[in-house]
Amino acid sequence: MADRAAVRRATLDLIARDRRAAAVVLALHSAAAIAGLATPWLLGRIIDEVSGGAGIGTVDRLALAIGGCVLAQALLTRYAQYAGHRFGERAVARLRERFVRQALQLPVSVVEHAGTGDLATRSSVDVSTVGTMVRDVLPVIMLSLAELALLIGAIFLLHPLLGLVALVGFPTIYAGTRWYLRRAGAAYLAEGAATAELTDALTTTAEGARTVEALGLADERIRYGTERIGHMWATRRATLALRSVFFPVAEGSYALPIAAVLLFGGFFLDKGWFTLGEVVAAALYLQRAIGPLDQMLQWIEQAQRGMASFARVLGVGMVPPEPRGESSTPRGERLVVRGARFAYPEGHDVLHGIDLEVQPGERLAIVGPSGAGKSTLARLLAGIDAPREGTVSVGGCPVTDLDPAERRRRIALVTQEHHVFIGSLRDNLAFAAPGASDEQMREALAAVGADWHTDLPEGLDTQLGDGALDLSAADAQQIALARLVLADPHTLILDEATAALDPTTARRTERSLGAVVAGRTVIAIAHRLNTAHDADRVAVLEDGRIAELGSHHELVAAGGTYAALWRSWHG
């Protein structure tokens, strides 16, 4: 989250980067507004001329001038809008590209602690809210402001006193707006959230319809849905209450300046300070000001919401990017863990002093009950988190000191969590190894047992993800494993990488993977004991400590927890 000063700086920066365009837009809009102002002024002239008994010829000339002004205004509006639109588009493009660049540089630990949900909101809702603001809302507000300023200015030109009188009515609008804006942001956010919740309630009930039927949850779902409807109704009433105060105050004030100018003009017409036509023109200007005022008040709440989103988008850039690490190059591939302790923020130690050495080419299986700290250990080994105490090093260098790109080239971590990116199957593989040929990709897919790829309609060009071909969890995980094959790291850390697959597919995948990982260091967190059986050594992790360590046969012979487990497994 960025503070107000930062938002202001960023807004100015947005304009400053495209200074010339911004100036052009402003000039064109002002010119268009001036042309638009000519109509009431010319009408005032007509009135004066007609009152003075002028003939039809004068009227025709002045009317023609009005037509000319309208055309000029239209042309100027066209170019002003076009320039404004281009300016807005450029600004939005810059913003969204910067957002993605910065999001990609976020350290993994920040991503995880913030929760992907929060970042997802920022990337979808906030970026597009800011986009709407820059593209649609800001131009309208700028334009309305310019028009309003010119209208008031024009009245001052007619006569300064008329101008001063015209300002009556604006203080109430200002006060009303301030009152409204203080409360509107939160109220509309609540309304949006309540609406989304109702949609969500309907969607999830529909998705889980079978479960609703199986478990007899219909009444519960109806109660939940009805509650959401009630909540939505309440939030909408709250925003309506705000509008019920704001709109009458603002709209009621529209008539005040007109009344004031007419009254003042009438009383002092005799003094000869201004003509009847000038008073009428001032009244018409003010009548005309209702348009831009209305526009501005309608959009101002959205502009405010846009600014809030802008602050959230900027917030992403304020997290320091992942440290580059020191340039030290590890000698060798030996992984060594010494006295490692680790605690998540807001928690007690998860790991209590782990000592472990993994030789290059060794296959180590880590087993243990859930909550023992297996995944945490995997993250330390992969350098995603640093131990609170003790060290984790590869080839003599602490893993967290390595350059992130370099580290990923050496040590890859695959978890249960998989993600298929929007794009072709090729896109989904290529980023792991930019230079890979189609042949290598097919080999990698075959290596992880993803034979289904040969049945795809367009082979590697088949589009995947969001709306395109939806892969099952099993297929998605196989893609994740194929990426690994292509990335070719010397050390692989598999954190229950096959747990999401159905038992048959899991076994097929594991077997194929076995051939691929030959010659690499593999650390596998496994919930199926056959993985442990095949490993060179097995580490049993219990309560954040290594309870047993040795080969499968040694551990079975030792008669500890592992042996007991193996016996019940083996039958």
Helix spans in 321-403 (H): 374-381
Q: Does 557 bind another protein (CB under 8 A)?
A: no
Written as six digits, the tokens of 476 are 């998605």
Scanning residues 155 to 184, which ones bind another protein (CB under 8 A)?
none
Helix spans in 411-487 (H): 425-430, 438-447, 473-487
Written as six digits, the tokens of 283 are 């009244």
Q: Among 113, 182, 331, 511, which residue interacts with another protein (rule: CB under 8 A)?
A: 511
Write the binding mask 72 to 91 for another protein: x where contact by CB under 8 A, - elsewhere: -xxx-xxxxxx--xx--xx-
Min dist. Cβ of residue 335 to another protein (A): 17
Closer CB to another protein, residue 9 or residue 238?
238
Closer CB to another protein, residue 96 or residue 338?
96
Q: Does 515 bind another protein (CB under 8 A)?
A: no
- Tell me the CA end-to-end span of the chain in Å, nearest whole number: 57
3-state secondary structure 500-569: CCCHHHHHHHHHHHHHHCCCCEEEEECCCHHHHHHCCEEEEEECCEEEEEECHHHHHHHCCHHHHHHHHH
Residue matched to tokens 């957002």: 99
Write the binding mask 360 to 379 for another protein: x where contact by CB under 8 A, - elsewhere: -------xxxxx--------
Closer CB to another protein, residue 86 or residue 334?
86
User: From CA 50, how far away is CA 60, in angstroms rounded?
Assistant: 12
Q: Among 334, 352, 409, 545, which residue interacts with another protein (rule: CB under 8 A)?
A: 409
Scanning residues 101 to 140, which ones bind another protein (CB under 8 A)?
101, 103-106, 108, 111-112, 115-117, 119-120, 122-124, 127-128, 131, 135
Do the Cβ atoms of 109 and 279 come closer than 8 Å? no
Q: Among 155, 293, 392, 529, which residue interacts with another protein (rule: CB under 8 A)?
A: 529
Q: Does 222 bind another protein (CB under 8 A)?
A: yes
Stretch that binds another protein, among 8-16, 57-65, 297-305, 439-447 (CB under 8 A): 57-65
508 to each of 449, 450, 505, 515, 522, how far by Cα in Å? Answer: 7, 10, 5, 12, 18
Closer CB to another protein, residue 76 or residue 358?
76
Q: List the beta bridge partners of residue 537.
A: 364
Q: Among 1, 12, 16, 100, which residue interacts with another protein (rule: CB under 8 A)?
A: 100
Q: Does 440 bind another protein (CB under 8 A)?
A: no
Do the Cβ atoms of 460 and 426 come closer than 8 Å? yes
Q: Does 426 bind another protein (CB under 8 A)?
A: no
User: From CA 72, how far away is CA 66, in angstroms rounded?
Assistant: 10
Q: Does 419 bind another protein (CB under 8 A)?
A: yes
Min dist. Cβ of residue 13 to another protein (A): 19
Q: Does 200 bind another protein (CB under 8 A)?
A: yes
Residue matched to tokens 């010659």: 519
Scanning residues 225 to 284, which ones bind another protein (CB under 8 A)?
225-226, 228-229, 232-233, 236-237, 240, 243-244, 247-256, 258-259, 262-263, 265-267, 269-270, 276, 279-280, 283-284
Find all residues with CB under 8 Å of 542, minimum gap 6, and list them: 368, 369, 372, 561
